[in-house]
Amino acid sequence: MNVALVTGAAQGFGLALTAGLTGRGWTVVVDSRDAGRLRAAAAALPRADLVVAVPGDVTDPAHRAELAAAAGRAGGLDLLVHNASELGPSPLPTLAEHPLDALRAVFETNLFAPVALTQLALPLLRAAAAPTVVTISSDAAVEAYPGWGGYGSSKAALDRVAAVLGAEQTAAVEGTAAVPARVYAFDPGDMRTAMHQRAFPGEDISDRPEPETVAPALLRLLDERPPGGRYRAADLAAPAGTAW
Distances (CA, A) of 232 to 4, 60, 67, 90, 178: 21, 30, 27, 26, 28
Distance CA 142, CA 157 (A): 10
DSSP run (H or E) holding 29: strand 27-30
Q: Which amino acid does the sequence have at 204?
A: D
CB 221 within 8 A of CB 231: yes
145 is catalytic: no
The upper half-sphere exposure of residue 218, i.e. CA atoms within 13 Å in the direction of its Cβ, equals 32
Distance CA 153, CA 90 (A): 17
Pick the catalytic residue from 145, 151, 184, 231: 151
CB 9 within 8 A of CB 211: no
Kindly list the catalytic residues. 151
